[in-house]
Structure 1
Amino acid sequence: MRIALVSEHANPLAAVGGVDAGGQNVHVAGLAAALAGLGHEVTVYTRRVAGHEPLTVTMSPGVTVEHVPAGPPEPLPKDELLPHMPAFAAHLARRWRAARPDVAHAHFWMSGLAALTAAEKLRVPVVQTFHALGTVKRRWQGAADTSPPSRLAVERDIGRRAAAVVATCTDEVSELAAMDVPVERVTVVPCGVDLALFHPDAPLQHPADADGRRPRLDGVARILSIGRLVPRKGVETIIEALAHVPGAHLTIAGGDPGDEESTRLSRLVAASGLSGRVRLIGSVARADVPALMRSALAVVTVPWYEPFGMVPVEAMACGVPVVASAVGGHLDTVSGCGALVPPRRPRALAGVLRDLLARPDVRASMADAGVRRARSRYGWPRVAAQTESVYRSLIGDRLDRLAAAGG
């Protein structure tokens, strides 16, 4: 099967941790590689953000990343990309006329807009994964939402026009139904985790680090927050809760020292009198994340809303207890094997952390349950097979005809 993955702002080759580089980048990279592992030919289309980028790059066997010239060849916030989607769509149409994909899978709403435009005359079925919905973002961020004003209407139209919609969690299905997206065309397929990278069995490693950025096994009750540093991720809530968890230390990984959110959080730490118990260490290389997670007694992730949430599943796969906000994808992934708390409730979070840090038996039980769930539900081979099933439901007859004709 020839598969086109369209991911206009989230390049699978990009370093994770920036404002617009997070779970979607990881998801697209993992899905592409896993689909190729099933024998498919995968091309990922993403926007060119530097003049020196080659048109195509081989990411892994069977996976090519194509940098689409759409807008200036420089990084732009994703909320400023809508005017460049016609150029993105025109490039897709040219490429697909030359080599028609069997299916296109769009990731994020602007990718869906471009893919549907390019695919219309070529009759390429388009599968849509939103990763985040404008209705949810608007609900939680209000006036701080920088999405284009047309986003909600365009997302609703994409959901109705796509041949199939892949939702990453059950909570999203309800949101899509409220948008009048036909639920019979919605299938829940979660995001995946690299179980070869994220696992509990490897010995902990702490490479020498002259600036002391890496936490060490020093007997400290250490909790970890890791991910993009943007206000909605709720790191402020963890800092506020820490004041009510005596003896606990917090490591915050993500962002870059000196960026707006890191600076804001650093000021909050100082104002709260927690400077000796909180460290902001900036972005961490992907290969170092599992060891960082395993060095913590618990991983805490309490965003205001979360379409899926890669961090809890990665921590679960590492055998680390998880405390997460009771929102979005966390209701599927963490419920029953971790602790769920209301978002933006530091006192409630503090109570859960005090109990968890005082009870090693509970931590051990949560760790074991998390590993079992991660391995049974979220390995990439399973996720890729579920996604492939959606594709085949749309194009099975065509593939059978091609096979019968020897094409």
Structure 2
Amino acid sequence: MPRSRPKPDRVAMISLHTSPLATPGVGDAGGLNVYVAELATALGRHGVEVEILTRRSDPATPEVVPLAERVTVRHLAAGPPEPVAKEQLPGLVDEFAASLRPLAAGYDLIHSHYWLSGLAALRVDQDHHHTSVRPPLVHTMHTMARVKNAALADDQQAEPEPRADGEALIVKSAEGLTANTGEEAAELRDHYGAAPDRITIVPPGVDLDVFHPCDQRESRDLLDIGAEAEVILFVGRIQPLKAPDVLIRAVAELIKQQPRRRERLKLIIIGSPSGPDRDWADTLPELADSLQVGELVEFRPHSERLELYRWYCASDIVAVPSHNESFGLVALEAQACTRPVVAADVGGLRHAVADGRTGILVGGHGPQDWASALGSLLDDPDRAVRLGQAGIDHARGFSWDASAEATLRAYRTAMG
């Protein structure tokens, strides 16, 4: 009988540009933060010691912060101990690698998240041409420059070529890669020439302890939302990629089609500006006013997860109009709360949402198409309830423990 490959005892999980301790929706914090924290916690339950390495961005934060059993967050020096714009972080990769280098021998494996982290892991060896000090590397892209540039929004800046080149180097050098879906694995192969035997499919999970079926009326009472309101909810960073402007235009189209709907329709947008396009967020209230729906659109800052759970519960529909998503955790969280999802027919959203069973996938980003999809559920609440009820069963198929088991397969392959 062949011997099974051993799993690592101690893993360094690198998230250079954003800490898992940050609140999703603030700055560059988003689904990646949730992914890293939840996956590390699940790996801890599987007996693996995980140290998450991130850049120190606050001098008052302790060097090491416990996150969960067998999981800690370690802050490494790289640049000033303060928030730095994401577009400036490539210049800090070498400093981060220098802080990582003396620690590297203490890990059985490194798992990097996002291209900046992957480059830092590779540069651990840059001063050791004859003797490698880097453990095996597994990398998770989360988003890819060449994929994003192939599906740019009108107002979105293209990802720079150095990022695409860096990603190509990571794909060439890493001992293992993980992808959320088979489609993402194909993108790794097609856009970067990734070797198929180095890719492991690792679907993300959803925290069913936080996000679960709930009482809409109770949540609306807590949030002071009227029982008769028709509530469309958007959750995410406010940037062109996430396309909240599509929903504002769709709401205007719904009012144009049915003026009486103005008395009850409400679009709630939860999130904060992010990325090099952060000034773009300022154009959204102006857009809503120009379309004469300003009073129907409410902009709210990021919410902690327990508060976010209440907003999901209070909504009638959760909308995810992104131009590209590697998966779409918001869609899973909404379905775990039995809310139907209307999402763009792109990327990982095709897997996160069961089209016609737990929600509706919309081809393109035209306001009329989105108005039609949203209106079809608002006008047929029985169908919306059926989709929402099916959502919880769909969401239960995505657990972080299953994600951890798949990740361990990737680790064993990379170590082998």
The verdict on how the C-alpha distance between 1:240 and 1:56 changes in structure 2, with shifts beyond 3 A counting, is same
The counterpart of 2:197, out of the listed 177, 184, 192, is 184
Query: For residues 144 and 240 of structure 1, what CA distance do their matches in structure 2 show?
Result: 17
1:113 equivalent to 2:124? Answer no
CA distance, structure 1, for counterparts of residue 245 and residue 351 of structure 2? 24
| Separation in structure 2 between the aligned mates of residue 343 and residue 233 of structure 1, nearest angstrom | 13
Picking from 168, 171, 194, the partner of 1:159 is 171
Q: Distance in 2 between matches of 1:171 and 1:60?
A: 32
Decide which of 76, 91, 109 is 1:83's aligned counterpart: 91
Task: Describe the superposition over 1:33-62 as per-residue Cα deviations: whole angstroms up to 9, x where unpaired.
Answer: 111111211100011112222211112221
Mapped to 2, the partners of 1:167 and 1:28 lie a distance apart of 14
The answer on 1:8 being equivalent to 2:21 is: no
- 179-188 or 118-127, larger mean C-alpha shift: 118-127
Match of 1:366 among 370, 373, 387: 387
Q: Deviations over 1:129-188 (max 9, x none)?
A: 000001022223489536443111121111121111101122212211112111221111
Counterpart for residue 411 of structure 2: 391
Deviations 1:61-91 (A, max 9, x none): 2111011101111211222111111111121
Task: Tell me the alpha carbon deviations over residues 360-401 of structure 1, each in whole angstroms, 9 at most, x when there is no partner.
Answer: 23212211221111101x1111111111222123336xxxxx
Q: CA deviation at 1:271?
A: 1.1
Whether contact under 8 Å (2:338, 2:389) holds in the other structure is yes
In structure 2, the residue matched to 1:381 is 401
Whether 1:26 aligns to 2:34 is yes
Structure 2: gaps spanning 5 or more residues: 1-8, 126-130
The one-letter code matched in structure 2 to 1:345 is G
Q: Distance in 2 between matches of 1:198 and 1:225?
A: 16
Q: In 1, distance between residues paired with 2:95 and 2:283? A: 37
**In the alignment, does 2:326 pair up with 1:307?**
yes
Question: Given the superposition, is the C-alpha separation of residues 184 and 392 from structure 1 closer, same or farther in structure 2, using an over 3 Å criterion?
Answer: closer
Amino acid of the structure 1 residue aligned with 2:323: W
- Give the direction of change, closer, same or farther, for the CA distance of 1:205–1:218 in structure 2 (3 Å limit): closer
Contact 1:215 1:292 in 2 (8 A): no
**3-state SS of paired residue (2:178):** strand
- Structure 1 residue 315 displacement after superposition: 0.4
SS at match of 2:177: strand
The Cα shift of 1:118 comes to 1.9
TM-score normalised to structure 2 length: 0.88
CA distance in 2, matches of 1:175, 1:77: 28
User: Where do 1:298-337 residues align within 5 Å?
Assistant: 298-336=317-355, 337=358
Q: Percent identity?
A: 35
Q: When the two structures are aligned, how many residues end up with a matched partner? A: 388
- State the alpha-carbon separation in 2 of the partners of residues 96 and 177 from structure 1: 29
AA matched with 2:230: A
**Are the aligned partners of 1:170 and 1:329 in contact in 2 as well (CA < 8 Å)?**
no
- CA RMSD, Structure 1 to Structure 2 (Å): 2.2
Asked if structure 1 preserves the Cα contact closer than 8 Å seen for 2:220 and 2:227, the reply is no
The amino acid that maps onto 2:267 is L
Match of 1:140 among 120, 138, 151: 151
Question: Superposed, which structure 2 residues align to 1:54-69 within 5 Å?
Answer: 54-69=62-77
5+ long unaligned stretches in structure 1: 397-407
Correspondence for 1:169 among 181, 185, 193 = 181
